[in-house]
Structure 1
Amino acid sequence: MDVYISSAQQPQGLVGTLQEDGTGGPSGDCNKVESSLRSLQTFVPADYASYTQEHYQFAGKTIVIQESIESYGAVVWPGATALCQYLEEHTEELNLQDAKILEIGAGPGLVSIVASILGAQVTATDLPDVLGNLQYNLLKNTLKRTAHLPEVKELVWGEHLEQNFPKSAFYYDYVLASDVVYHHYFLDKLLATMVHLSQPGTVVLWANKFRFSTDYEFLDKFKQVFDTTLLAEYPESSVKLFKGLLKWD
């Protein structure tokens, strides 16, 4: 079971760093920082004993991610690094500057951080128990480094999609997902979520390490509803990266 700490018990190093980084800029930026800090007080990292600081290099930046092996959602998986590499190498082709992006299953946030550094307007989503660590990593790595501070929202696959992400109000140029497919019982809900978030012009970029037969079964279902293109393969990690465009009748 995940253990939560209150905002009063929150590590002071993070709060001090964010407040220090957030001063001295334009008033609009300060307002964004204050809003993000309020969000941080809502989403507090679980009190794992095994947190480590891992370093990644993307988009000309050193990105420091707080990870923990105590949760699937607090670890950077191979699909995430492959997707980051692809975004970095195809930034202009993908036209990421100011693009509206939602990441499904953002985990510790590496993909959302890289997309933000590359200029996108990012909404990072995941289950409630990992949002604290996700918010921590996003703010730690994007404050004063990005044109748009990423947002964090709860997204339970297949649940209250129209209520929380109404099609009339939310449009995304890209829906990103990495290593969201493995041996679990929510694959149909995951596919339904991808479909709901896709509108005409929305591109789904899905990177996954293929481990089990269920991964290929999901790919077959994905191909039934999305026009699917294999964009890249990474044999060293068994990761495949697909582009999906929702089929319209």
Structure 2
Amino acid sequence: MDVCLSSEQQTTHLQEAPRTPDGCFALAAEGAPREEGTGGPPGDATEAGPPLPGLQQFVPTDYESYTQEHYLFAGAKIVIQESIESYGAVVWPGATALCQYLEEHSEELNLQDAKVLEIGAGPGLVSVVASLLGAQVTATDLPDVLGNLQYNLLKNTVNRAAHLPAVRELVWGESLEQRFPRSAFYYDYVLASDVVYHHYFLDKLLATMAHLCQPGTVLLWANKFRFSTDYEFLDKFKQVFDTTLVAEFPESSVKIFQGILKWG
């Protein structure tokens, strides 16, 4: 059972919620997220009424301040709750570039009903856009990010998306076969944006990308290239995936690569 407590601040007991067919916790279709300006702590998506049936209650980290940032993709106004106090609570340039790419190539990608997993979903903008474009999305990240991620997904997809996204914990390189067994999980697309920067988990990230891809899976990785380590990761990425540069945004130094896992 996936139980995702994000920090010592998040002491709320998480009750088991119904799972989607792929074993993820789905956001509830009933009820509505809170409106901006209502009372209650930041990120409490349900204080305007009773708890939503079937909603796995991930609790947003209690940062000192959140902001409401506005985006327009897939013909919809999207409001994302962000905080500069965490890398995982901010929309980075790679995410907006990937959203633009998904929007402009939605017919070519055939996202309608496609099974999509996002690695390092952060505050959830990419997963929201993929959901609004018709995909069946599983958004993943570290435990302390899941509360704000779920809040943003719920706020922007209830009564708007054909398939409500699921939220699932994914720690790169850890318990991959136990949590995402290849025999049970298949994704048409794996999405990742700005997951490569100066950190010590790049080998685990690459192993996670490879594990989640099977024959037919397309990985779309968007990244702002900042450091030499970004290019070093790209070299390793090319050893594991047949790689194509599909889009480039010079003004933000973002590149989007398509990867198909090499077999044999």
Q: Could you state the TM-score of these two structures normalised by the residue count of structure 2?
A: 0.84
Q: 2:91 aligns with which of 63, 67, 76?
A: 76
Aligned alpha-carbon RMSD (Å): 1.9
Q: SS at 1:34's partner residue?
A: coil
Q: CA deviation at 1:4?
A: 2.7
Matched with 1:34 is 53
Aligned 8 A contact 1:4 1:45 in 2: no
- Output the amino acid matched with 2:116: I
Identity of aligned residues (%): 79
Q: Which runs of 5+ in 2 are unaligned?
A: 1-5, 14-39
1:182-221 correspondence runs (5 A) = 182-221=197-236
> Aligned AA for 2:218?
V
Deviations 1:100-123 (A, max 9, x none): 000000000000000000000000
The whole-number CA distance in structure 1 between the counterparts of 2:226 and 2:123 is: 21
Quick check: which one's helix share is greater?
1
Tell me the equivalent position of 2:9. Answer: 4
- 2:27 maps to none
Question: In the TM superposition, what are the counterparts of 1:1-249 in structure 2 within 5 Å?
Answer: 4-7=9-12, 14-16=45-47, 34-35=53-54, 37=55, 39=56, 41=57, 43-249=58-264
Unaligned runs of 5+ in 1: 21-32
Query: Hey, what's the Cα distance between the residues in 1 that align with 2:108 and 2:199?
Result: 34
Change (3 A) 1:241 1:19: farther
Q: Which residue of 2 aligns with 1:27?
A: none
1:55 is displaced (CA, Å) by 0.3
**Deviations 1:52-71, CA, capped at 9 Å, x for gaps:** 00000000101000000000
3-state SS of paired residue (1:15) = coil
Q: Match for residue 19 of structure 2?
A: none
The answer as to whether partners of 1:113 and 1:138 remain within 8 angstroms in 2 is yes
Could you report, residue by residue, the CA deviation over 1:45-91 in whole angstroms, capped at 9, with x for unpaired residues?
01111210000000010100000000000000000000000000000
User: Whole-Å Cα distance in 2 between the matches of residues 18 and 139 of structure 1?
Assistant: 14
